[in-house]
Amino acid sequence: MTWQILDTNYEQAKIAIIGVGGGGGNTVQHIINSGVEGVEYICANTDAQALSMVQNAKTLKLGKDITKGLGAGNNPEAGRVATEVCREEISDLLKNTQMLFVTAGMGGGTGTGGAPVIAKIAKELGILVVGVVTTPFKTEGEKRHNQAKSGISKLMEHVDSLIEIDNEKIFEVFPPDTPIEKAFTAVNDVLVNAVRGVANIVLKPSKINVDFADVSAVMSQKGMALMGYGSASGENRSSEAIFKALNNPFFDSNEVRNAKGLLVNVCASSSITQVELKEILQEAQKVSQDGVDAIPGLTIDESFEDKLSVIIIATGLRRYDINDIQNPRIISTNNLIENVENPYVDIELINKINIQDALRRFPN
């Protein structure tokens, strides 16, 4: 893998993020409150009351003559129709945008039904579109899970990359007695870091200037994307930060080996050394395959003082579903392992599995 480091002056790209539905709107508000600069914020919702709570962002009331401002009633079809009738307003809001983040909480009505419509409109306008969505908790029921799955499938058809945050991952990060507000903030922070990482690379002055076309090449790899974030201070800050990023619960290092694009943003004060930057890029390189499009970004922010952060976004990942398999064969595992008296697995007996012999038993 070769890091593409460019030093090019270019017209600053316009980046926007639109939150669709209640969950998407909450995410946008969280990003605004986190101080991510240089991004245009939009909230679109069928719920007029929720829109009235939005601060420092443009708002769009979806399907006001259809839903009467009362929401989509957990019905994705109602969310879709309410968004479709606002195509002209959406196009006007996205005018001159080069890159758009579409964020939504999947499983409900407005976000699930409306996000794919907005993404499709954006693609028709030639915009680079990145979806950033959350999926329901298991306790939210089968209906919401099925709706979320369907919504994500439709959204995938109209985005260049999709970052999916599984809410269940919260339980891998926090103990069960963690206040729910803190847990939801942590999920939103993942989304914040995804937007901040891209915005930093594209919009902020950097010692490593990267052309928007190269960022676009990485983010338009068509598929799922994973994001890792880590920060640290002190003597070993670079190694600790990259370790945290690569071992983040939302970042599967094994899956990342199949990524087609890799974007790394390092943010630190001017105290960062060449050795630290080199270490971070080398460790990021280890988790990816040869030939991947890799874009590094270095943002200098003196407010970081002794802190250093690393954001990694891996793109172009394929999600495999059982329905993708052509002519599947059901293979019985009977008689592949020698019978033993002890019913428990004995690791020392693992060599009793003869893989070559097992494969010969399968019909062509």
Closest CA to 19 of 237, 192, 222: 192
Closest CA to 210 of 7, 3, 2: 7
Cβ-contact 23, 105 below 8 angstroms: yes
pLDDT at 273 > cutoff 80: yes
pLDDT of residue 115: 98
Kindly state the average pLDDT of the residues 55-81.
95
Between CA 310 and CA 304 the distance in angstroms is: 12
Closest CA to 163 of 122, 228, 104, 224: 224
pLDDT of residue 181: 84
pLDDT in tens, 177-220: 888 888 788 778 888 888 888 887 777 766 676 668 878 888 88
Comparison of pLDDT for 247 and 44, the residue scoring more: 44
pLDDT of residue 209: 60
* Domain 224-317 CATH (choose: 3.30.465.10, 3.40.30.10, 3.30.365.10, 3.30.1330.20): 3.30.1330.20
Between CA 198 and CA 219 the distance in angstroms is: 9
Whole-number average pLDDT of the chain: 84
* Domain locations along the chain: 15-206, 224-317
pLDDT in tens, 305-350: 999 999 998 999 875 454 544 455 444 444 444 454 554 444 444 4
Kindly state the average pLDDT of the residues 41-59.
96
Domain 15-206 fold is: Rossmann fold (3.40.50)
Enter the tokens of residue 65: 């003559």
Comparison of pLDDT for 6 and 117, the residue scoring more: 117
Kindly state the average pLDDT of the residues 266-284.
93
pLDDT in tens, 84-124: 999 999 999 999 999 999 999 999 999 999 999 999 999 99
Q: Which of 48-52, 173-177, 290-294 has the highest mean pLDDT?
A: 48-52
Cβ-contact 145, 74 below 8 angstroms: no
Cβ-contact 180, 160 below 8 angstroms: no
> Which of 127-136, 167-176, 260-269 is predicted with the least confidence, judged by mean pLDDT?
167-176
> Which of 11-20, 223-232, 291-300, 338-347 is predicted with the least confidence, judged by mean pLDDT?
338-347
Kindly state the average pLDDT of the residues 19-29.
95
Between CA 2 and CA 171 the distance in angstroms is: 37
Cβ-contact 43, 205 below 8 angstroms: no
